[in-house]
Amino acid sequence: MASTPTSVPAPKTNRLGLQVLDYRGGKTTLCAGCGHNAISERVIDALYEMGVKPERVLKLSGIGCSSKTPAYFVSRAHSFNSLHGRMPSIATGAVLANRSMLSLGVSGDGDTASIGMGQFVHLMRRNLPIIYIIEDNGVYGLTKGQFSATADLGSKQKTGVINDLPAIDTCTLAIQMGATFVGRSFSGDKKQLLTMLKAAIAHRGTVMLDVISPCVTFNDHEGSTKSYKYVMDHEEPIAEAGFVPHFEDIAVEYDPGTTFDVRMHDGSHLRLRKLHEDYDPTNKIKAVESLMEAHEKGEVLTGVFYIDTQKPNFVDLLHMTDTPLAQMPQEALRPPKRVLDEVMESLR
């Protein structure tokens, strides 16, 4: 009896028949317990559960511990670990060259809010179709813990130095500059982050997610507002997102009585559970207001603050052909001789 083999259950697969293993990346080299690792895992889950083909994903990042993470998920996707603060421009070029890919940009708070501010703002303004994740720990992890521009006023460095400059709220900024799906979550909040990411995958414009992600080595102690403890104490979710993909119904999980539906471009729905009365994620002004108020109260609002599914994205604005530009054949790209003749004639 002991010798009869027990039947092994078939590994779980998604709609493409791929296992979660097919979305794995290389072994992380980040510190044990780094919030960034948790985010990488959620990205894997989201892509797997949404059934996105690894080969159709573009991973883009800048420089920093956070920007290293694309090496730790979905090895089967092309990845561009670019320069400090320059991921937005690389991403823009890549998206224009191949509009058919799902682009995932990973950045850090230093990479985005300090050296990358200019490119960040202009990517948001273009509403480039991309999921832009800021793994936000308020410090420069890779260079050993100096303050970034999202470090909260008064937070303390291990060395004891206190930050005396105000924090930049990347969510408010993103909303005002033109991003069409803006939210904030916490690396430790598996459920919320996963649902947000899944919703993000269905969006067709700039998704900007600021994910608080504690740096256990340099910024996870008392006095730091980006520490696990601090966030757990001060986090106040305004809307818990439950995502309903159109190919997999998990609506049962949610109480229909208290839900607010947003129809996504791909026909799926993003369902927000209202915690605050009358919170409406389609109202830009209110979104900014709530963020500013929470900030004044020293609270970390999480959830999806703003969504606009109507605004054309950058690819739409450019009226490009559906075939990715990178895949156009020479015939389609080099006009015939008569065109040159015509031009030459006009110059005589």
Ligand X SMILES: Cc1ncc(C[n+]2csc(CCOP(=O)(O)OP(=O)(O)O)c2C)c(N)n1
The residue within the footprint of ligand X, chosen from 15, 55, 97, 143 (CB under 6 A), is 143
141 binds ligand SF4 (CB under 6 A): yes
Distance of alpha carbon 74 from alpha carbon 227, whole angstroms: 28
Distance of alpha carbon 204 from alpha carbon 181, whole angstroms: 9
CA 15 distance to own-chain centroid: 23
The residue within the footprint of ligand SF4, chosen from 19, 20, 31, 122 (CB under 6 A), is 31
35 binds ligand X (CB under 6 A): no
137 binds ligand X (CB under 6 A): yes
221 binds ligand SF4 (CB under 6 A): no
Closer to ligand X by CB, 77 or 216: give it: 216
Amino acid 320 reads M
Q: Assign 310 to helix, strand or coil.
A: coil
Residue 137 interacts, among other proteins, Mg ion, its own copies, none and using kind-specific CB cut-offs from 5 to 8 Å, with Mg ion
The residue within the footprint of ligand SF4, chosen from 30, 94, 197, 209 (CB under 6 A), is 30
326 binds other proteins (CB under 8 A): yes
Closer to Mg ion by CB, 30 or 301: give it: 30
Closer to other proteins by CB, 64 or 242: give it: 64
Distance of alpha carbon 214 from alpha carbon 139, whole angstroms: 9
CA 309 distance to own-chain centroid: 17
Residue 102 CB coordination number (10 Å):
19
User: Which range, of 4-12, 27-35, 120-128, 163-171, touches ligand SF4 by CB under 6 A?
Assistant: 27-35
Q: How far is the CB of 105 from ligand SF4 (least distance, A)?
A: 18
b/e 303-314 (16+ beta carbons within 10 angstroms → b): bbbbbbbeeebb
- What residues numbered 127-146 form the site for other proteins, per CB under 8 A? 140-144, 146
Token reading at 229:
């403890």
| Tokens 């990358």 found at | 116
- Give the orientation angle of helix 190-202 with respect to helix 35-49, to 10 degrees: 50
Q: End-to-end alpha-carbon separation of the chain, Å?
A: 95
User: Which range, of 14-22, 88-96, 158-166, 192-200, touches its own copies by CB under 8 A?
Assistant: 158-166
Output the furthest CA–CA distance in the chain (Å, rounded): 95
The residue within the footprint of ligand X, chosen from 139, 149, 208, 212 (CB under 6 A), is 139
Q: Assign 132 to helix, strand or coil.
A: strand
Residue 111 interacts, among Mg ion, ligand SF4, ligand X, none and using kind-specific CB cut-offs from 5 to 8 Å, with ligand X
Alpha-carbon dihedral sign for residues 300, 32, 103, 144: positive
Footprint of ligand X (CB under 6 A): 63-66, 84, 108-111, 135, 137, 139-143, 148, 215
Under the rule (CB under 8 A), what is the footprint of its own copies?
Answer: 114-118, 121-122, 125-126, 149, 164-166, 168-169, 172-173, 176-178, 284-285, 288-289, 292-293, 296, 317
